[in-house]
Structure 1
Amino acid sequence: MKTSLVLLAVLLPFLPEGSATVLLLNNASHDDRFNANLNATATLRCEVVNNTNDETLIWYRGTQQVDIKSENSVNISNVCIPQLTMEDNGVSFTCALERDLTIKRSVQLNVLYAPVLSGDTRILAEEGKTVQVTCGFKANPAASMFWRQNGSLFTLPSRYKQDMTSDSLLLTIEKVEKTDAANYTCVALLSNGNETVRVIEVIVGDRQPGLPVEAIAAAVVVGALIIAFGLFARRDKLMCKKNQLDTAM
């Protein structure tokens, strides 16, 4: 309470006349971020200061109103978010006066967690074909993402292409060769030097035999001729039947 009174004394000279009632959210008089670790519990405290009458407080998670007990809504209100998840990261909580929703304070959850990597750990590629190695990632704070080949950094050959989306690191290898078979390590590096890795084994199999181009072309020609002869033969029969009908008439 002493902290709240001190903050109020500092704020009062800057408040417009007639709008002295303010809200403090976790003792802050401005919108803020709330840092917390994954699986931790977050407790948010909203307090009305310089009010002349009792004020009812309401909470919103995003745009959805939070259900709180009546005894937890007058002048001081607390919201507890147990066991924070990655999905809670970036979610905003807003405390407001029920009688005047323009008087409000918001806090955005900043859930911190080590990088989480996902994706297949073994990929079978066919020699001569194109293969894509995918490493999904989530991290807060953001991590630097890159590849190692057989445990070492390497310069990407011209047949290799690296792309990155908001949640995936992609490595595309065109015209795969037997020498491309290796363990590709997806690395998420934090600013403090900590690494999270996921090893993906790429196995390159023999090229599968296919039908020769000449044989395919010959088959297409033969099929077309058979269809053509069939149509002509049926046409002769139809013409014959038509002639028979004309003779009978």
Structure 2
Amino acid sequence: MMRVHACLLLLCCACRLVTAGMRVVLSPLDTEGSVSARVGGVVSLNCSAEGGGVSEQSEELEWHRNGQLLKLDPHNHFSPSRLCVQNVTTDDHQVTFTCHLKRNPTVAASAEIKVHFPPDLSGSEDVNVQESQDASLYCSVWAYPQVAVTWLRDDQPLYLVGQRRYTLYQDSREARLTITGAQRELHQGRYSCVTRSWEFGERSKTFHLLVEDKKMAFPLWPMVAAGVVVTLTAALAVVARWDKVSKCWK
């Protein structure tokens, strides 16, 4: 039994020594350790095991996509292993692919996919709002690389200094212009959300804001109350004259 334990210990130490000198290399990568592609394009990655005192062709490798194991052709499990992502979409943006030794997952290399795509921004939209109500205009500005956003009114830069009724909000996916308590004379007009970038140029979406007269709310509950009063009055009148009505029937 002592000899068995000693042999296992020696094997374990030998395995550690072999793995200690082993590394996994991904290529081709840019200086940031990532790979870029456009929507509809192809991403190709090569993974190789190097060093460790063993033949790299005998090293079995595994691939993961954001931590999920990928099933590859059995012949593609050994170094060098190749991964190909075809017809790249925005769903592949910022996805991380990792290649590691099957016998030791700590020996690994990773690469992030950066998909270049423009914002989905075009066309026009009619926005109707009643006077004194709030109006919100939304633009999808999600893109990579990120784009600069400008708001225009009637083709002129929107003047915001001292304008408390205008509120701008923007994150990586959405730009929003909110007009608080819209007034026809002050706010009705044509607004544009414009994005600019060195890669995708200029894109825009137009909003035609129409401020309508404020509609009077229908007095539902007073009408219901009036109906109830009329019904009760008619019922009481019938009860008061019931004796005479009965005599007529007799």
Length-normalised TM-score, structure 2: 0.73
Q: How many residues are matched? A: 215
- C-alpha displacement at 1:22, in angstroms? 1.3
User: Among residues 64, 67, 72, which one is paired with 1:63 in the alignment?
Assistant: 67
TM-aligned CA distance change 1:105 to 1:75, over 3 Å: same
- C-alpha displacement at 1:37, in angstroms? 1.5
Give a deviation string over 1:22-69, Cα, whole Å, max 9, x none: 1110056x9821111221100011011225141111100111111111
- C-alpha displacement at 1:143, in angstroms? 1.1
TM-aligned CA distance change 1:152 to 1:192, over 3 Å: farther
The answer to whether the 8 Å contact 1:119/1:134 transfers is no
The answer for the alignment partner of 2:45 in structure 1 is 44
| Worse-superposed segment, 62-71 or 150-159 | 150-159
Q: Which amino acid aligns with 1:174?
A: T
Distance (Å, rounded) in 2 between the aligned partners of 1:129 and 1:77: 61
Give a deviation string over 1:59-88, Cα, whole Å, max 9, x none: 001111111111111111111100111110
User: Among residues 85, 101, 110, which one is paired with 2:105 in the alignment?
Assistant: 101
The answer to whether the 8 Å contact 2:123/2:206 transfers is no
1:176 paired to 2:177 = no
TM-aligned CA distance change 1:21 to 1:137, over 3 Å: same
The answer for the alignment partner of 1:124 in structure 2 is 128
User: Among residues 200, 203, 209, which one is paired with 1:202 in the alignment?
Assistant: 209
Q: Which amino acid aligns with 1:143?
A: V
| Worse-superposed segment, 133-142 or 164-173 | 164-173
The answer for the alignment partner of 2:248 in structure 1 is none
Q: RMSD of the alignment, in Å?
A: 3.2
- C-alpha displacement at 1:117, in angstroms? 2.6
Percentage of identical aligned residues:
23
Stretches of structure 2 that go unaligned for 5 or more consecutive residues are 1-15, 234-250
Distance (Å, rounded) in 1 between the aligned partners of 2:45 and 2:170: 36
- 3-state SS of the aligned residue for 1:87? helix
Stretches of structure 1 that go unaligned for 5 or more consecutive residues are 1-15, 230-249
1:144 paired to 2:148 = yes
The answer to whether the 8 Å contact 2:90/2:115 transfers is yes
TM-aligned CA distance change 1:59 to 1:193, over 3 Å: closer
Distance (Å, rounded) in 1 between the aligned partners of 2:157 and 2:32: 43
Give a deviation string over 1:159-217, Cα, whole Å, max 9, x none: 22112233211111122222322121111122568221111111222221346xxx899
Distance (Å, rounded) in 1 between the aligned partners of 2:86 and 2:168: 39
TM-aligned CA distance change 1:63 to 1:221, over 3 Å: same
1:186 paired to 2:193 = yes
- 3-state SS of the aligned residue for 1:135? strand
User: Among residues 80, 84, 96, which one is paired with 2:84 in the alignment?
Assistant: 80
The answer to whether the 8 Å contact 1:56/1:73 transfers is yes
- C-alpha displacement at 1:90, in angstroms? 0.4
Distance (Å, rounded) in 2 between the aligned partners of 1:208 and 1:175: 15
- 3-state SS of the aligned residue for 2:75? helix
| Worse-superposed segment, 91-100 or 145-154 | 145-154
Distance (Å, rounded) in 2 between the aligned partners of 1:98 and 1:125: 61
- 3-state SS of the aligned residue for 1:196? strand
